[in-house]
Amino acid sequence: MEQLNILFVDDELHNLNAFKSAFRRDYIVHLADSASKAMEILAAESIQIIITDQRMPDVTGVEFLKKITPQYAHTLRMVLSGFSDSETITQAIKDKTVHHFINKPWDKQIIKSIIAKAFAN
Amino acid sequence: MKLFRCHFFGSPYHLLGLSLQVVLLILLLSNYTIAQNSDEKDSLPNDITRLKVFTNIKNLILCSILLLFSGVTLAQNIHTIDSLKKVLKTSISGTKRVDSYNSIAKLYRESDSIQVAHYTNKAIQLAKRVKYPKGISTAYVHLGWISLIKGNYKTSINSFQEALKIADSIQFKKGIADAHAFLGVVFTKKGEYAQALLHYERANIIHQEINDKEGLAYGYNNRGDIYRRKGEYPIALEHYQQSLKIFKKIKIQKGIAYNYFDIGHVFRIWGNHSKAIEYFQKSLTIGERTKDKRGIAGNYFQIGLIHQSQGNYSKALEMLKKSLRTRKEIGEKEGMAVTYNNIGDIHRMRGNFKKALEMYQKSLKIKIQIGDKGRIAVGYLSLGQLALSNKEIEVAKKYFTQALTLRQKLAQKDLVAEAKIFLGIAYYSQKSYKKAEKNLTQGISVAKHTNHISSVRNGAKYLSKLYEIIGKPQKALENHVLYKQMEDSLFNRKNTRQITQLQERYDAQKREDSLKQHNAHKLLQAQIKTQKANKKTAITIFGLISLGVLFIVLVFFYRLKQLNNQRLQSANKEIKAKSEIVKKQRDKLAQTLQKLQSSQTQLIQFEKMASLGQLTAGIAHEINNPVNFISSNVDSLRVNLQDILKVVDAYEQLTPDNTTQQLASIVALKQEVQYQDALDEMADLIQGIEDGSQRTTHIVKGLRLFTRLDEDVLKKVQIHENIDTTLMLLQNQYKHRIKIEKNYGDLPLIDGYPGKLNQVFMNLLVNAIQAIDNAGTIKISTGLEGYQQVQITIQDTGKGIPFHLQQQIFEPFFTTKEIGEGTGLGLSIVLGIIEKHQGKIEVESKQGQGTRFSITLPIEQINS
């Protein structure tokens, strides 16, 4: 099976490093430390999965996903957060901007199984 | 005779009045008889004789009244003045008229200077016309007195000297002595003590000669004042006690009150505040009873000073303002000046320098106007301290030096010491340690000698710091111990508690007294009513002479009594029932109070939980981030290590025989396990773990500060650390949205309750964050506020508080949030915490522009 391209967005450098080392064996990992950087990567690469942190300097994770959803509707979109603080995430899941919500600290296996399930067919 | 009946009716003296009337009647008759007899002998025309008799009687009446009232306390002043005025309406002799004018003037002396001037002028004019020098002399004494109170010392001296000259010319002994005594008082106030003592000595000799007890008593008190002003407190105290003893013996309340006051003053200087307050309250009680406004104002002032030195500024201000009001009312310039000065001190302590300067200037203006050198020195000292607080050290030094020079000139030992110590402090803050050491050491040594505790304390405090800086730890320690000793004696808990208790006891006594007075008044009214009723009955009985009618009346009265009894009984029942109801209501109130108290505790607890809730969201986020990469990195490290070990294994299987083949498979293996990637990222992974664990440690440490919410022990607090911790915990609420500008000054550690202060910063910062809708800035500035306080301001660029709500924000339950979102207790708890720290909090806000909270906290907590 061809490896999936995954884009991980987080403003915290340590999280980017951690994500890459955790998932580089299973996917082709692309990293972005801001929403704008993420847009560039989305334009340049063919990305199947987007995982973003909720709390970021310029826009929140949900806002970022809302913006790109029309253009990249086929992607699998997930939001990561340290604290399930908002109704916005629940709302975003309802209107299918976000497919999954994951709490920090993440469980590698859960993320992998979500992806596996989504791309089973 | 009707005139006198009216006068005595219903007064406690009315028995005396009655007997007086009898005596007068007898005298009138006998006089008349004598006159009739002499009529025969001298054959004077009848109407002239009658006139003479009439005048004699008038004089007699006047004398009797004067005699009667000489023993009555000042509470009867108005009463006495009224009757004296009535006497003046009758045709009495010129000299008697002068005496009456003078008597009225004397009675107005403590309360109304305009009246004094009015009556003395009348007395002087008339006395000159009827050639009655004694009357002129006495009038001049009264005139001198009102100038003295108003601080016109020059005019005052002139008046007393005039009085002295006249009294001397007619050998009016008491007049000479009194004039000397008053001259002594003026010179004392001017700070010319030697001159004053000379006058007192002369007065003393004459008072002894004519055995004037009152004069002698005042003499002791006056000399006591000089010793007190010179800092020789034990001798002063002895004099006051001697004076008190005599006044008690001759039962002159005013004198007793003045000595209580002066003794209290000495104890206050010695730092024995509870004893001082006890004396002031005794004096105040008498002052209020005798309506001596000057005395009352003085006592309020002194009590205010005690509260001030205990750091109870609001109570002190209340007392001082009370004193100032009264002093303004009676135009007591000297007292006004002193009070302004102390109100200024309080504003200075509270950090309100502008207001302080205004008060000091008002004070100094009056002092210069009245030429009171001693007090001018005090004014300079205050201005110096203000300059010091403003960091204008050169200006401060100038003022301190001026005060010092003036006090040296006045030979005020302990006050010279005080000025020296302040000068030393100024040098200290300029880092001129040599000069500072010299001034402080000299000052302390003198202040120790005169037992001027607050000066010793102040001096020792700075000398200790100084020695620490110049590296003499032994001496630093010695002075620190001295400082602590003095502080303990000034502020020990027992002392403070006693003061509060005394204040409470006094207030309770006062309430009781006013209740008694009220009851007495009612009783009197009842008596008058009964008397009127009795009169009516008598007339009725007189009208109905017949026995039968009398019988009917008796029956009627009998029935009336029965009816009354019945009424009484039913009234009793009613009272019983009512008191039952009152009792029930009281119990109910007690219950309600208890309920309220428990809800209050619950609410405060709730507010704490609310602020904890705010925290949890932040903390969860802040902790979960590092925990995320720590745990992920550890996992990655493990996997990487496995991969690397595979490669290592492959290397170990390397033998001379299989080199080429094995190396090829190792290359393939490296490719397979992404060997280079694993090696490359190891450093990053470890770095992540390190940073993450450091960050969590930091947060947990911060949390520990917050769990101290209930801790009730004073600690040394580093304010910046507390603010930073709070900011860190709130990061998730402002990060990327709000810019935090820190402008931290150089702050010392301050005394405080760290957990409680965190709660303050948490509340204010959360408010600031929530006030900013999108992007904005929060400015946090800290700095020293004078010598004894620090100031923290938190300023946001948020939506601001509407002007009409600014007054309410510190009130409990006031909230602009939706129901259930906030308790409305946040800022009221903040205020409570700040007050517990003896600090203050102020808010400035403009709608649409932002809000600024300024907190001022004392560096040292006294009083606890």
Residue A3 near chain B (CB below 8 Å)? no
Q: Which two tokens stand for residue B462?
A: 């700075």
Q: Which CATH class is domain B716-858?
A: alpha beta
Q: Residue B678: how many CB atoms within 10 A of its CB?
A: 23
User: Is the Cβ–Cβ distance between B409 and B419 less than 8 Å?
Assistant: no
The confidence score (pLDDT) of residue B768 equals 92
Q: Is the pLDDT of residue B505 over 80?
A: no
Q: A45 vs chain B: nearest CA distance in angstroms?
A: 21
pLDDT per position as a tens digit, A10-48: 988 999 999 999 999 999 999 999 999 999 999 999 999
The whole-angstrom distance between B780's CA and the closest CA on chain A is 22
A56 and B736 in contact by Cβ < 8 A? yes
Which residue do the tokens 């603080």 mark?
A85
Tell me the mean pLDDT in the region B429-437. Answer: 88
Q: Two tokens at B539?
A: 């007339």
List Cβ neighbours of B52 (8 Å cut-off, separation of 6 or more): B35
Question: How far is residue B294's CA from residue B323's CA, in Å, rounded to a whole number?
Answer: 9
Give exposure, A52-89, as e/b (b: 16+ Cβ within 10 Å).
bbbbbeebbbbbbbbebbeebeebbbbbbbbbeeeebb
Instruction: Check whether B427 has a pLDDT greater than 60.
Output: yes
The H-or-E segment that residue B458 falls in is helix B453-469
Reading the block at residue B825, the tokens are 């207790």
pLDDT in tens, B225-237: 888 887 788 888 8
Quick one: which of B265, B349, B336, B338 has its CA closest to B303?
Answer: B265
Q: Could you give the CA distance from residue B465 to residue B477 in angstroms, rounded to a whole number?
A: 9
β partners of residue B796: B778, B851
Distances (CA, A) of B727 to B608, B734, B756: 18, 9, 15
On whether the CB atoms of residues A52 and A10 are closer than 8 A, the answer is yes
Q: ipTM of the predicted structure?
A: 0.92
Residue B92: which pLDDT band, with cuts at 50, 70 and 90? Answer: confident
- The fourth-level CATH superfamily of domain B218-291 is Tetratricopeptide repeat domain (1.25.40.10)
Q: How far apart are CA B236 and CA B241, in angstroms?
A: 9
Q: How is chain B split into domains, by residue range?
A: 1-63, 77-178, 218-291, 499-543, 716-858
Given a contact cutoff of 8 angstroms between Cβ atoms, the answer to whether B266 and B227 are in contact is no
Residue type, A33: D
Kindly state the tokens that stand for A32. 């972005």
A22, A56, A58 ranked by CB distance to B632: nearest:
A22
User: With an 8 Å Cβ cutoff, is B625 touching chain A?
Assistant: yes
**Does B47 score more than 80 pLDDT?**
no
Given the DSSP bridges, would you call strands B776-785 and B789-796 parallel, antiparallel or unpaired?
antiparallel
Sheet holding A100-103, edge to edge: A28-32, A5-9, A49-53, A76-81, A100-103
Chain A CA closest to residue B731: A55
Query: Which tokens sit at B420?
Result: 């020296």
Range from A46-50, B547-551, B705-709 carrying the lowest mean pLDDT = B705-709
Give the minimum alpha-carbon distance from B687 to chain A in angstroms, rounded to a whole number.
Answer: 8
pLDDT digits (tens, 9 = 90+) for B157-204: 999 999 999 998 888 888 899 899 999 998 888 778 888 988 998 898
Q: pLDDT tens digits, residue range B49-89?
A: 444 444 444 444 444 444 444 333 344 456 677 777 777 77
Give yes or no for A35 touching B (CB within 8 A). no
CB pairs under 8 A between A and B: 80
Please give the single-letter amino acid code of residue B280. F
Interface test with A, best of B615, B627, B629, B681 (most A CBs within 10 A): B629
Nearest-CA distance B674 → chain A (Å): 8
CATH topology assigned to domain B77-178: 1.25.40
Q: Are strands A49-53 and A100-103 parallel, antiparallel or unpaired?
A: unpaired
Judged against a pLDDT cut of 80, whether residue B708 lies above it is answered with no
Residue B607 has pLDDT above 70, yes or no: no
Assess whether pLDDT exceeds 70 at residue B711: no
- Interface check for A108 against chain B (CB to CB < 8 A): the answer is yes
Residues of B in contact with A20 (CB under 8 A): 681
The Cα–Cα gap between B14 and B488 comes to 57
A29 has a chain B CB within 8 A of its CB: no
Give the mean model confidence (pLDDT) for residues B90-101: 82
B77-178 shares its CATH topology with B716-858: no
Percent of chain B with pLDDT over 90: 21
Q: Tokens 């302080």 belong to which residue?
A: B356
Lowest mean pLDDT among B139-153, B419-433, B542-556: B542-556
Q: Does domain A5-118 have CATH number 3.40.190.10?
A: no
Contact list, B625 vs chain A (CB under 8 Å): 12, 15, 82, 104
Check CB contact of A15 with chain B, cutoff 8 Å. yes
Rg value, chain A, Cα: 13
- Taking only the tens place, the pLDDT of each residue in B203-217 is 988 998 888 888 999
Measure CB to CB from residue A105 to each of B624, B677, B732 and give the nearest one.
B624
Measure the CA–CA gap between B861 and B754, rounded to whole angstroms.
Answer: 13
Is A15 in Cβ contact with B628 (below 8 Å)? yes
Which B residues, 626 through 645, put their C-beta within 8 Å of a C-beta on chain A? Answer: 626-633, 635-636, 639-640
Does A101 have pLDDT greater than 50? yes
